């Protein structure tokens, strides 16, 4: 969303950071010089030339209109970083880059917020189809930050993406990926709103129904919940005694949901999605798959992670798949055809599937592998 502050237009998602187009001023030029001439800046931007405040001013005055550069500010107007997109207007793609957070402000989640702003601008405002960026292989914080924001690694030193200074990782993200992974759950206020809904009586009863169904399938061994949200399934499992003698781990792509879960149940492991591949006896996916643009890639990952039991709850139908995307909230609310779902799971020897209708379109599927 846009915000007008003292005559300047900012783009913000309601978090700590807001961004505005960089200006032909000594102020912006000084920051850009400070960052671009630093060792990290020269490395990260693949460019060792000296930038002066005046060369910045000259560049802004003559830059091509598709080369967008923003300064990132805290809400108290302190300038803390920069980022940009070079838009390929005809191809509807953009190269994101020039990500920089001031040295003194690193490690506080601002880099991630800046990525989220840039992605929201690229997909939400410019309506690009996809974006890409290159990052040095040795730039661990740069890579981690990209991964956390939803960028996908495509390869190293791909044609047209090489640099004499060392190996380069090429990353991409499509609009569908951005929408399904990040935007909806981490939209300002969304996590709290959804968590409040999940605490309603009806949802509590629904969780009890799930735990009593799961009690008939759960096998000895630990539990991994993929898409743990704010931790309410964890609570239901614990209260039903299903976690006695087991270690529970939850993971979720939403930072905001994880924040709530960690605050609510300190000491329980709630982590981001990069850490979920570890094989576990019981893998749970509860009301997750219906909210993905395409459940198939996630399903094969879940199957890979499940050593003995994969337990899924979702919205199913015997009609054809019904894909429903809500523009206003950014959520997919899909109804999945059961037969196609079984086909996507694939059959392997020893696999056993048990369907159970819990309530209306809510079904559970227990897969013994
Ligand atoms: C890359 C950069 C923008 C990250 O900014 P930041 O504000 O420190 O990053 P955040 O605090 O948002 O951290 C984002 C993630 O990266 C991880 N991270 C940050 N610094 C890290 C480091 N030095 N090593 C490993 N991981 C690191 C964080 O742990 C976090 O992941 P988590 O949420 O799973 O814990 C910043 O380090 C920077 O400006 N570097 C120099 C320029 C650059 O390299 N730009 C990137 C080019 S693509």
Q: Domains (ranges, CATH) in the chain?
A: 2-181 (3.40.630.30), 190-368 (3.40.50.150)
pLDDT at position 183 over 60: no
- Residue 44 CA, ligand 1 centroid: distance in Å: 12
Ligand 1 centroid to 298 CA: how many Å? 26
Categorize the per-residue pLDDT at 262 as very low, low, confident or very high, splitting at 50, 70 and 90.
Answer: very high
Confidence of residue 181 (pLDDT cuts 50, 70, 90): low
Q: How many CB atoms lie within 10 A of CB 130?
A: 18
Running DSSP on this structure, what letter comes out for residue 216? T
Rounded CA-CA distance 25/328 in Å is 37
The reply to whether ligand 1 has any atom less than 6 angstroms from the CB of 35 is: no
Tokens of 296: 């198939």
Q: Can you tell me which atom of ligand 1 is nearest the CA of 142?
A: 1
Ligand 1 neighbour 7 (Cβ under 6 A): no
Q: What is the pLDDT of residues 133-163, one digit of tens each?
A: 999 999 999 999 999 888 999 999 999 999 9
Residue with CA closest to ligand 1 atom 16: 145
The pLDDT assigned to 17 comes to: 93
What pLDDT was estimated at residue 3? Answer: 87
DSSP 115: H
Check if 148 has its Cβ closer than 6 Å to any atom of ligand 1.
yes
| Ligand 1 atom with least separation from CA of 144 | 16
Q: Is 44 in the pocket of ligand 1 (CB under 6 A)?
A: yes
Q: What are phi and psi of 79, to 5 degrees?
A: -80, 125
Residue 304 has a CB neighbour count (10 Å cut-off) of 13
74: confidence class by pLDDT, cuts 50, 70, 90 = very high
Average pLDDT across the chain, whole number: 92
Question: Is the pLDDT reported for residue 344 higher than 60?
Answer: yes
Rounded to whole angstroms, the Cα distance separating 206 from 214 reads 12
Whether the CB-CB separation of 280 and 249 falls below 8 Å is answered with yes
Q: What pLDDT was estimated at residue 188? A: 65
Q: Which atom of ligand 1 has the smallest separation from the CA of 41?
A: 42
pLDDT digits (tens, 9 = 90+) for 184-234: 777 767 888 889 999 999 999 999 999 999 999 999 999 999 999 999 999
The structure's pTM equals 0.62
């Amino acid at each position: 969303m846009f915000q007008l502050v003292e005559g300047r237009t900012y783009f913000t998602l309601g978090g700590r950071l807001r961004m505005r187009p960089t200006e032909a001023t000594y102020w912006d030029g000084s920051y850009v010089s400070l960052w671009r001439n630093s060792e990290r800046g020269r490395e990260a931007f693949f460019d060792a030339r000296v930038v002066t405040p005046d060369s910045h001013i000259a560049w802004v005055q003559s830059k091509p209109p598709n080369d967008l550069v923003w300064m990132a500010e805290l809400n108290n107007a302190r300038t803390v970083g920069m980022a940009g997109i070079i838009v390929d207007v005809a191809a509807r793609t953009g190269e994101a880059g020039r990500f920089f957070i001031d040295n003194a402000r690193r490690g506080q989640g601002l880099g991630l917020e800046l990525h989220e702003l840039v992605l929201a601008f690229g997909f939400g405002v410019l309506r690009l189809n996809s974006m890409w960026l290159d990052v040095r292989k040795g730039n661990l914080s740069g890579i981690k930050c990209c991964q956390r924001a939803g960028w996908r690694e495509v390869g190293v030193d791909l044609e047209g993406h090489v640099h004499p200074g060392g190996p380069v990782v090429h990353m991409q993200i499509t609009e569908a990926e951005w929408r399904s992974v990040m935007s909806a759950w981490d939209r300002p206020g969304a996590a709290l709103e959804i968590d409040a809904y999940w605490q309603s009586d009806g949802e509590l009863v629904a969780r009890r129904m799930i735990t009593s169904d799961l009690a008939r399938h759960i096998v000895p061994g630990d539990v991994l919940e993929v898409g743990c949200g704010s931790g309410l399934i964890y609570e239901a499992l614990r209260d039903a005694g299903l976690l006695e003698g087991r270690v529970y781990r939850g993971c979720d792509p939403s930072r905001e949901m994880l924040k709530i879960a960690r605050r609510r149940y300190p000491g329980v492991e709630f982590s981001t999605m990069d850490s979920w591949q570890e094989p576990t006896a019981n893998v749970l996916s509860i009301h997750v798959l219906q909210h993905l643009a395409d459940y198939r890639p996630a399903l094969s990952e879940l199957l890979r992670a499940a050593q003995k039991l994969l337990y899924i709850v979702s919205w199913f139908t015997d009609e054809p798949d019904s894909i429903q995307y809500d523009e206003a909230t950014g959520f997919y609310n899909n109804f999945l055809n059961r037969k196609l779902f079984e086909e996507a799971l694939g059959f392997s020897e020893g696999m056993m599937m048990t369907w159970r209708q819990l309530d209306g379109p809510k079904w559970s599927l227990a897969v013994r592998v």
